[in-house]
């Protein structure tokens, strides 16, 4: 093969390649500039769990252990405690509450069975997804990390509106 043919073919290939590249420049871009821009997550997204409180600020969880029983990866650990105080002084909505409520995110598979099992609507999946840590032991989240009143919420996500079409980007591809 002569050197000339070589040059011609290379140039052609470059032009072809650049053609593809250049053709994308005017098109809409899908890249999210995370973490500068927040990620949009589905309303049903299964992020870090949230333990809820009722309208009076009482923990909804009554430590029934059903979430722990339902958990396939056995990552929920609870210690129940008796709360003999009057309803106004109690921590939770009932005389029984979770003194310790731990979820080990090293094991959690975000299946949502715990949420299904909860008879008190006390646990749901939140949207926090930034769970990476430097130390594996830090994957164990305690009640403070999980309670809706104390969980640190990341600013790096926004929840899609229920009628917002977040899926179609994937359909195009």
The stretch near other proteins (CB under 8 A) out of 12-20, 62-70, 100-108, 146-154 is 62-70
- Which residues 136-155 are close enough to bind other proteins by CB under 8 A? none
**Segment contacting other proteins by CB under 8 A, of 11-19, 48-56, 76-84, 106-114:** 76-84
Phi, psi at 103, each rounded to 5°: -125, 130
- Dihedral angle, C-alpha 49, 52, 58, 62, nearest 10 °: -60
- Write the DSSP string, 44-100: T---SEEE-B-TTS-B------HHHHH-TT--EEEEEEE--S-TTT-SBSSSEEEEE
Phi, psi (5° rounding) for residue 122? -90, -30
Q: Which of 82, 116, 130, 169 binds other proteins (CB under 8 A)?
A: 82
Figure out which of the listed residues 58, 90, 107, 120 binds other proteins, where binding follows CB under 8 A: 120
- What does the block give as tokens for 166? 């977040």
65 lies in the binding site for other proteins (CB under 8 A) = yes
Selected range binding other proteins among 33-41, 94-102, 127-135, 150-158, rule: CB under 8 A: 94-102
Distance CA 150, CA 51 (A): 10
What does the angle CA 56 – CA 151 – CA 96 come to, to the nearest 5 degrees? 45
Specify the residue, 54 or 82, whose C-beta has the smaller distance to other proteins: 82
Query: Is 96 a binder of other proteins (CB under 8 A)?
Result: yes
Shortest Cβ 89–other proteins spacing (Å): 12
Indicate whether 64 belongs to the interface with other proteins (CB under 8 A). Answer: yes
Q: How far apart are the first and last CA of the chain?
A: 39
Interface residues with other proteins (CB under 8 A) are 62-66, 68-69, 80-82, 84, 94-96, 119-120
């Amino acid at each position: 093969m002569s050197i000339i043919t070589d040059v011609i073919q290379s140039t052609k290939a470059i032009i072809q390649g650049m053609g593809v590249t250049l053709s994308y420049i005017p098109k809409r871009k899908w890249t999210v500039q995370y973490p500068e821009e927040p990620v949009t997550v589905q309303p049903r997204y299964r992020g870090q769990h949230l333990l809820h409180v009722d309208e009076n600020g009482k923990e909804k969880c009554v430590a029934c252990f059903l979430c722990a029983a339902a958990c396939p990866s056995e990552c929920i650990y609870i210690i129940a405690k008796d709360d003999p105080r009057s309803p106004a002084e109690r921590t939770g909505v009932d005389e029984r509450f979770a003194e310790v409520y731990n979820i080990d995110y090293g094991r959690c598979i975000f299946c949502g069975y715990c949420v299904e099992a909860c008879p008190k609507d006390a646990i749901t999946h939140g949207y926090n997804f930034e769970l990476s840590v430097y130390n594996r032991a830090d994957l164990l989240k305690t009640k403070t990390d999980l309670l809706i009143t104390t969980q640190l919420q990341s600013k790096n996500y926004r929840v899609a509106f229920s009628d917002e079409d977040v899926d179609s980007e994937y359909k195009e591809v």
